[in-house]
Amino acid sequence: MSNRIFSFAPIIDESSEVLILGSIPGVKSLEKQEYYGHPQNVFWKIIFELFAENVTDDYQEKLEILKKHKIALWDVIDSCERKGSLDSEIKNENANDILRLLEDYPNIKMIACNGQKSYKNLIKILGKNFAIPIVALPSTSPLHTIPFQNKFEIWKQIKHPFLLKPSEG
């Protein structure tokens, strides 16, 4: 039997320029009440390396690193039913109000989707020709088997959002 689960509040402030969207937190993240809380998820490793930051296990320090580099976090899905952590098991989902968030935080210059599920759901909400560039990045999940260095190279896009042009169908 699957349980209804809920995403976390967005991590964002007025200075945020890059919005990273996941699908919805996995079991380990929900247990820890932390974005990307699974120990084998490479999200934080990518952030530390990309911005040459010291590795920390302290969640508040991780959030400060995101803030320092103008990165916001949220999920495309507000709530859903899911057995386990697999995106393929998501059912009866309700979307977060991404448009409202973008209205409230107009400095967002780029939306980066962590994995295909978040990208596909976001395109359903915003469309392919949205005014803000949207990029689909490989999932940082341990189940997504692209080698770390390959993921890291693709994720470098979030470092320079002003170089991207608006999405084109």
Which secondary structure element, helix H or strand E, spans residue 54, and what is its range? Answer: none
CA-wise closest residue to 140 among 121, 154, 126, 128: 154
Beta bridge partners of 11: 73
Instruction: With beta carbons less than 8 A apart as the criterion, state whether 20 and 114 touch.
Output: yes
Count of Cβ atoms closer than 10 Å to residue 54 Cβ: 7
Phi-psi region of 67 (alpha: psi -120 to 50; beta: other; left: phi over 0): alpha
> Which residue in the list 41, 96, 114, 121 is annotated as catalytic?
41
Whose CA is closest to 15, among 100, 103, 106, 99? Answer: 106
Residue type, position 133, single letter: P
Q: Is 41 a catalytic residue?
A: yes
Beta bridge partners of 135: 112
Q: Which residues are catalytic?
A: 41
